[in-house]
Each structure stands twice: as C-alpha cells, then as structure tokens.
C-alpha cells in the first residue's frame, strides 16, 4: 500500500479527493496546512505529495522545498488554481515538482493518470535505490575481503621477517656464548619454533660440537703438561 499526501487548506476539496479514490493499492492521506503535512511526513512513508501553492502561513513552494531537501525520494505534484503556466513550467524544469494539475480537477483525464504515474515513478526509484544500496554492500564486502587478504599477506611477510631477525639474534648469541650449556639453551629455544631455520639449528649444533672439541683439547693438553712435568722433574 502506497500513501499519497494531499495538502490543501480547502477542506471541501479534500473531501472530494477522498471520495474519488478508486485505487486498491494507494491510500490517500490529508493535511490542511504545511504543519500538519510535516507531521505526517515524519510519521508515515509517503510516496507522493500533492500540494496547493497558495496556503496560509507556509505556502506550497516552501513546503515542497522542505520535502525535496528532507524527503528527496517523495514525488512532488502541485494542484492549484494558478494560471501562470510559466511559473509552473519553471518549477518542473528546476526539478522542484514532477508535474502540476490545475483546478478544477479533471479526474479521468488527468488526476488518475498523474497519481498512477507518480506512484509508479516512486516504486521504480525506490527499487533502484535498494539495488544500488545492495550493490554498495556487496562492493564493500568485496573490498573488505581484498583488504583482509592483503592484511594476511602483510602479516605473513612481517612474521617471516621477524622470524629472520630472531634467528640472527640467536646466531649472534651463539657466537658470543663461551659455554656449551648456554649453546644448549639456545638450541632449546630454537627447537620450540615449528618453522625455525634448519640452517640455524645446524649452526648451533656445530657450535656445540666445536666447543666440546675445544674443551677436550684443552683437557688433553692439560694432562699432557702434567705427565711431562712428572716424568721430567720427579
């Protein structure tokens, strides 16, 4: 059901419009002035507004400008006694109104086709807006997906880079550590990494073996000098 709002200070005219509603899917709503019209606009979904131009307090042009600014999807029609066709044509050219109807109303020839066309225009534009909104949502989802993929890629690159930095730090500690026990601790840390460099593990193990060989050589040399001293001086 689509609502069409008629704004006119002539109550008798509005009663005639109410009796002339032959549409099954269009509901007529009425206001005697701009203030009543704005209250209705704020409380109901209006498809079309049909306003007189000359009304007390707020005139029809000001009301329609308010509608255009705050409810741009509503189709605007003027119903008036005004005979100044140039003024009405300017309003149409400036997209202030969709069309105009002059009083007295010709219901069969003008009124019914105008209301039907205006509601149809509203339906089409609302459908297009919905489709555009859905398209934007899908586009945002796609952009978000692309962003997430790029984020994952950057994270992997950062992780790999940080992994390389950690390995370099441990390699430095390996070279600077004088004791086999410290090198074993370094190896324990490296073994906790699932994707750590096998090359670094190999370096640590070689370092440990080298350190053990050096320790063995030092001990052997010490024993050699002890036995040499014993045999020579005792």
Q: Say which CATH number the domain at 98 has.
A: 3.40.50.2300
> What is the percentage of the chain residues whose pLDDT exceeds 70?
58
Longest dimension (CA), the chain: 144
Q: Is residue 53 part of a domain?
A: yes
User: Which tens digit of pLDDT belongs to each residue from 12-69?
Assistant: 999 999 999 999 999 999 999 999 999 999 999 999 999 998 887 888 889 999 999 9
Query: What pairing do the DSSP bridges indicate for beta strands 26-31 and 2-7?
Result: parallel
Cβ 48 vs Cβ 38: under 8 Å:
no
Residue carrying structure tokens 């036995």: 227
Q: How confident is the model at residue 145 (pLDDT cuts 50, 70, 90)?
A: low
Is the pTM higher than 0.85?
Answer: no
> What is the percentage of the chain residues whose pLDDT exceeds 90?
38
Parent domain of 202:
177-233
Same domain? 31 vs 123: yes
Same domain? 129 vs 74: yes
Same domain? 12 vs 122: yes
Q: Is residue 99 part of a domain?
A: yes
Q: Is residue 167 part of a domain?
A: no
The pLDDT of residue 223 is above 50? no
User: Which tens digit of pLDDT belongs to each residue from 152-174?
Assistant: 565 555 555 555 555 555 555 55
């Amino acid at each position: 059901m689509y609502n069409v709002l008629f704004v006119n200070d002539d109550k008798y005219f509005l009663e005639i419009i109410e009796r002339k509603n032959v549409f099954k899917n269009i509901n007529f709503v009425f206001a005697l002035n701009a203030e009543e019209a704005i209250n209705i606009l704020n409380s109901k979904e209006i498809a079309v507004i049909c306003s007189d131009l000359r009304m007390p307090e707020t005139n029809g042009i000001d009301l329609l400008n308010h509608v255009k600014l705050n409810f741009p999807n509503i189709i605007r029609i003027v119903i008036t006694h005004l005979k100044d066709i140039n003024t009405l044509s300017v309003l149409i050219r400036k997209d202030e109104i969709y069309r105009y109807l002059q009083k007295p109303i010709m219901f069969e020839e003008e009124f019914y086709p105008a209301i039907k066309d205006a509601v149809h225009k509203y339906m089409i534009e609302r459908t297009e807006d919905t489709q555009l909104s859905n398209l934007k949502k899908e586009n945002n989802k796609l952009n978000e997906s692309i962003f997430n993929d790029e984020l994952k890629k950057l994270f992997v690159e950062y992780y790999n880079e940080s992994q390389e930095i950690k390995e370099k730090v441990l390699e430095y500690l390996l070279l600077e550590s004088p004791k086999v026990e410290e090198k074993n601790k370094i190896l324990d840390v490296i073994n906790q990494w699932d994707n750590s460099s096998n090359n670094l593990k190999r370096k640590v193990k070689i370092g440990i073996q080298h350190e053990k060989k050096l320790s063995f050589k030092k001990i052997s040399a010490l024993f050699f000098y002890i036995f040499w001293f014993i045999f020579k001086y005792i």
